[in-house]
């Protein structure tokens, strides 16, 4: 009887201790959410295989692939899970509906941000809820700050195309930090620059001014990289100009701003998007894709550095919103062999090549090549172009097989002269909306290395989730993308259950 009584009291004491730890475990003060747009397991494996080759190993050897220096920060995290990415009415989501899922915990339609699929109700994001808790909030993207993914953390709009409306909502958030790309629609109908100034925001757009925040942190800052080649997005990481900050450098600045005064004593929430992983996926350029993957993972490294100084109070979650391009590890022409060393010869992105090499070359050559010469082997006699293929993509034209030469010739004719002997359907399949010669060059280089592409759009495969730090264990398992917002809100100690109406 006495033994039974003491066992009961021990059990009771254990139960109380468990309840106390469950109920009173302090929520992590510092929460990082990293989102690789268009990043799934393929992009992760391709990047690690590329790093293996860059670091002097072979992408065919397990002993090399497993070396720590050839692994990404994210894939070394102790917790991993897998999430489904479909949206309310599509197996293949877009970035607006997936970001709404991560940010607000609700399934919606492609194109819709922070609202339900009938576009009549707006929802709060985890960033807004963190702000209501008194945390500082930061939003970073390598594409424009009014693009779909960052927008879901502060805006509600029925269409992601309403970018001026999105920027207006951004200027009214009161968030402490925005950084990376610029604004795509800042002036009409509303002058958002004026609104930002009226709301007390400082807009910085030189490297020196942005880096000044490292030693002189201020709240309410919009830190925009000086060089934005198109759509107010940062250049691809492999094209990074000296004047710009990398995604990792911007993330480091954001950490300094948000952690100043310990985030008003309440910590912070920081969302970081690697947005052009997706754009390179759409364009089927593996090396540009991998370059932005490395840049994104280096930004994760900045959060890990912060974590090591605050291990009990920091949570880092890293995931993607969907796969882009139907990228595969392996190709019909290479079977079980990988030749990643072939990728090392590419020196710029397709975007940079197109703007700075192809367009000037075409301007020079088109009058002579097109017209009466059409139909002959124009590319084989264009030695300047053959030279460009070698210097920019590391592609030796003379070592290509006849099928690849024929594909290049068709693409060259289409790009140079606007016509070739393919059917319309064949051209759509081969080039989608991309410049035929440019996308054909990356296709051939990528397939020679053993990387395939099956789409110019998003695909529906589940996407890995990685986590490290306080409460990271919540991210084990197989769950839906909406569960990520719900888990983050619960972990941050938000009492209501998502989705929460605005
Ligand atoms: Zn996309």
What are the pLDDT digits (tens) for 250-306?
999 999 999 998 878 899 999 999 999 999 999 999 999 999 999 999 999 999 999
| Statement to judge: residues 321 and 365 lie in one domain | no
Q: What is the CATH number of the domain that holds 233?
A: 3.40.720.10
Backbone angles phi, psi at 52, to 5 degrees: -60, -45
Task: Find the domain containing 126 and state its range.
Answer: 28-327+456-491
| Statement to judge: residues 154 and 32 lie in one domain | yes
How many A from CA of 333 to the centre of ligand 1?
Answer: 27
| Statement to judge: residues 320 and 447 lie in one domain | no
How many A from CA of 19 to the centre of ligand 1?
Answer: 44
| Statement to judge: residues 260 and 363 lie in one domain | no
How many A from CA of 57 to the centre of ligand 1?
Answer: 32
| Statement to judge: residues 85 and 131 lie in one domain | yes
How many A from CA of 276 to the centre of ligand 1?
Answer: 9
What are the pLDDT digits (tens) for 388-420?
999 999 999 999 999 999 999 999 999 999 989
| Statement to judge: residues 74 and 186 lie in one domain | yes
The count of structural domains within the chain is 2
- CA of 348: how far to CAs of 15, 295, 367, 441, 492, in Å? 60, 15, 27, 12, 41
Backbone angles phi, psi at 178, to 5 degrees: -125, 140
How many A from CA of 457 to the centre of ligand 1?
Answer: 7
The answer to whether residue 87 sits within a structural domain is yes
How many A from CA of 100 to the centre of ligand 1?
Answer: 15
One pLDDT digit (tens) per residue for the chain, 502 residues: 455 555 555 555 545 444 444 444 689 999 999 999 999 999 999 999 999 999 999 999 999 999 999 999 999 999 999 999 999 999 999 999 999 999 999 999 999 999 999 999 999 999 999 999 999 999 999 999 999 999 999 999 999 999 999 999 999 999 999 999 999 999 999 999 999 999 999 999 999 999 999 999 999 999 999 999 989 999 999 999 999 999 999 999 999 999 998 878 899 999 999 999 999 999 999 999 999 999 999 999 999 999 999 999 999 999 999 999 999 999 999 999 999 999 999 999 999 999 999 999 999 998 888 876 555 678 999 999 999 999 999 999 999 999 999 999 999 999 999 989 899 999 999 999 999 999 999 999 999 999 999 999 999 999 999 999 999 999 999 999 999 999 999 999 999 999 999 9
How many A from CA of 468 to the centre of ligand 1?
Answer: 27
The answer to whether residue 357 sits within a structural domain is yes
The answer to whether residue 363 sits within a structural domain is yes
| Statement to judge: residues 94 and 189 lie in one domain | yes
- CA of 460: how far to CAs of 38, 87, 100, in Å? 11, 10, 17
The answer to whether residue 497 sits within a structural domain is no
How many A from CA of 452 to the centre of ligand 1?
Answer: 18
| Statement to judge: residues 213 and 350 lie in one domain | no
How many A from CA of 149 to the centre of ligand 1?
Answer: 10
The answer to whether residue 203 sits within a structural domain is yes
Write out the DSSP string of 466-487. EEEETTGGGG-EEEEHHHHHHH
**CA atoms within 13 A of residue 119's CA, in its CB half-sphere:** 11
Per-residue tokens: 356:
């700075």
| Statement to judge: residues 170 and 87 lie in one domain | yes
The answer to whether residue 227 sits within a structural domain is yes
| Statement to judge: residues 396 and 309 lie in one domain | no
| Beta strands 477-480; 79-84: pairing state | parallel
How many A from CA of 380 to the centre of ligand 1?
Answer: 35
How many A from CA of 114 to the centre of ligand 1?
Answer: 18
| Statement to judge: residues 208 and 246 lie in one domain | yes
DSSP state of 397: G
The answer to whether residue 476 sits within a structural domain is yes
How many A from CA of 495 to the centre of ligand 1?
Answer: 33
The answer to whether residue 373 sits within a structural domain is yes
How many A from CA of 201 to the centre of ligand 1?
Answer: 30
How many A from CA of 94 to the centre of ligand 1?
Answer: 6
| Statement to judge: residues 363 and 321 lie in one domain | no
């Amino acid at each position: 009887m006495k033994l039974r009584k003491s066992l009961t009291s021990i059990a009771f004491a254990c139960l109380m201790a468990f309840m106390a730890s469950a109920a009173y475990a302090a929520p992590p003060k510092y929460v990082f959410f990293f989102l690789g747009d268009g990043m799934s397991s393929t992009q992760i494996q391709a990047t690690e295989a590329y790093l293996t080759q860059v670091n002097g190993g072979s992408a065919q050897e397990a002993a090399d692939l497993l070396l720590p220096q050839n692994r990404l920060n994210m894939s070394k995290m102790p917790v991993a899970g897998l999430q489904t990415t479909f949206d309310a009415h599509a197996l293949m989501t877009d970035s607006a509906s997936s970001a709404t899922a991560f940010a607000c915990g609700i399934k919606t339609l492609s194109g819709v941000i922070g609202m339900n699929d009938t576009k009549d109700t707006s929802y709060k994001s985890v960033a807004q809820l963190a702000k209501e808790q008194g945390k500082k909030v930061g939003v970073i993207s390598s594409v424009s700050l009014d693009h779909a993914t960052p927008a879901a953390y502060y805006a509600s709009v029925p269409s992601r195309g309403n970018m001026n409306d999105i920027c207006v909502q951004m200027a009214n958030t009161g968030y402490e930090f925005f950084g990376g790309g610029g604004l795509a629609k800042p002036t009409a109908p509303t002058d958002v620059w004026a609104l930002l100034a009226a709301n007390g925001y400082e807009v910085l757009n030189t490297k020196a001014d942005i880096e000044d925040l490292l030693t002189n942190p201020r709240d309410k800052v919009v830190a925009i990289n000086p060089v934005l080649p198109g759509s107010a997005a940062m250049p691809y990481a492999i094209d990074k100009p000296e004047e710009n900050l990398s995604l990792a450098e911007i993330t480091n600045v954001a950490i300094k701003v948000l952690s100043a005064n310990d985030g008003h004593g309440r910590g912070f929430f920081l969302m970081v998007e690697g947005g052009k992983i997706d754009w390179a996926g759409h364009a089927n350029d593996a090396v540009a894709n991998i370059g932005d993957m490395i840049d994104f993972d280096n930004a994760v490294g900045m959060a890990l550095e912060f974590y090591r100084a605050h291990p009990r109070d920091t949570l880092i979650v890293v995931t993607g919103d969907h796969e882009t391009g139907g990228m595969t590890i392996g190709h019909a022409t290479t079977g079980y062999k990988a030749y990643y060393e072939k990728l090392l010869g590419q020196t710029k992105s397709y975007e940079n090549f197109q703007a700075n090499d192809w367009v000037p070359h075409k301007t020079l050559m088109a009058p002579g090549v097109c017209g009466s010469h059409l139909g002959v082997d124009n590319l084989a006699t264009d030695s300047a172009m053959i030279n460009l293929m070698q210097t920019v993509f590391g592609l030796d034209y003379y070592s290509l097989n006849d099928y690849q030469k024929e594909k290049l010739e068709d693409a060259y004719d289409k790009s140079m002269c606007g016509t070739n002997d393919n059917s319309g359907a064949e051209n759509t399949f081969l080039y989608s909306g991309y410049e035929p010669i440019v996308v054909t060059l990356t296709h051939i280089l990528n397939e020679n290395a053993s990387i395939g592409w099956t789409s110019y759009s998003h695909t529906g495969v589940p996407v890995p989730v990685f986590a490290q730090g306080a409460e990271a264990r919540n991210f084990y398992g197989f769950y839906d993308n909406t569960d990520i917002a719900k888990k983050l809100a619960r972990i941050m100690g938000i009492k209501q259950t998502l989705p929460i109406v605005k």
